[in-house]
Amino acid sequence: MVKVVIVDDDSFIRESLKVLVGMDPDIEVTGAAGDGGEALKLLESGTEADVVLMDIRMPGIDGVEGARLIKRHAPQVAVLMLTTFDDDEYIIEAIKGGASGYLLKNIPPDRIIQGIKTVHEGNMLIHPDIARKLAGFLQPAAAAGNTSPCPLEAYGLTKTEQSVVAAIAEGHSNKEIAARLFLSEGTVKNYITEILSKLGLRDRTQIAIFYLKNGR
């Protein structure tokens, strides 16, 4: 079961999402909140969550700040932004804060459910246009002062680590990467930890953006 917390300041939307998302037999809605601060309190109080589905624009603590707070408290929880706004600035800030992607509220319910499962599997939902804009914000610690793209080996990545980076950028989960490279999932996780350390990055979303900037 994928455990989901729903965050939206509109009580009608919040309750509707609880019903729609909860209809899927693979998903359990474990909590609901009116803003990012309430969502954080739920997690701090012990509410289990694999994915937080959160509106990006809310009074109080919005989705952008909410994503930062949640990822700081529980980095293993995937945050998926849900918005009616095609607002690049908000989306970019949320993803920089650790969100795994975003969906528009006007998409069919089955696509919201699929989006939840996608980020839970370790994949990302980032439109290529947004990813390209994000690339300009990322400057790994290993390349401080260098604004031009460098080949991946310049950052000390082994051939296998480079393959893992490319697979992450293509949206593959750890399980899929393991099958592709004939590795165990545990070994893939170890590689990702080492990659993050070498590049001075925080999470797999930043790895994907780094690859867009340097790996092609």
Residues 103 and 145 in one domain: no
Q: Is 140 in the same domain as 160?
A: yes
- Domain containing residue 210: CATH number: 3.40.50.2300
**Based on the domain organization, do 21 and 103 belong to the same domain?**
yes
Supply the range of the domain harboring residue 25.
2-125
For the chain, the 3-state helix, strand and coil shares in percent, each to the nearest 5, are 50, 15, 35
205: number of CA atoms within 13 Å, CB side? 28
Where is the domain boundary, 125, 153, 171? Answer: 125
Q: pLDDT (tens digit, 9 = 90+) per residue, 140-182? A: 444 444 444 457 788 889 999 999 998 888 778 888 899 999 9
Is 80 exceeded by the pLDDT of residue 213? no
Q: Looking at the structure, do residues 7 and 105 belong to the same domain, yes or no?
A: yes
Residues contacting residue 60 through CB under 8 Å, at least 6 positions apart: 9, 34, 35, 36, 37
Which of the pair, 2 or 104, is modelled with greater confidence? 2
Q: What is the pLDDT of residues 118-141, one digit of tens each?
A: 899 888 887 666 766 666 655 444
Q: Is the pTM of this model over 0.75?
A: no
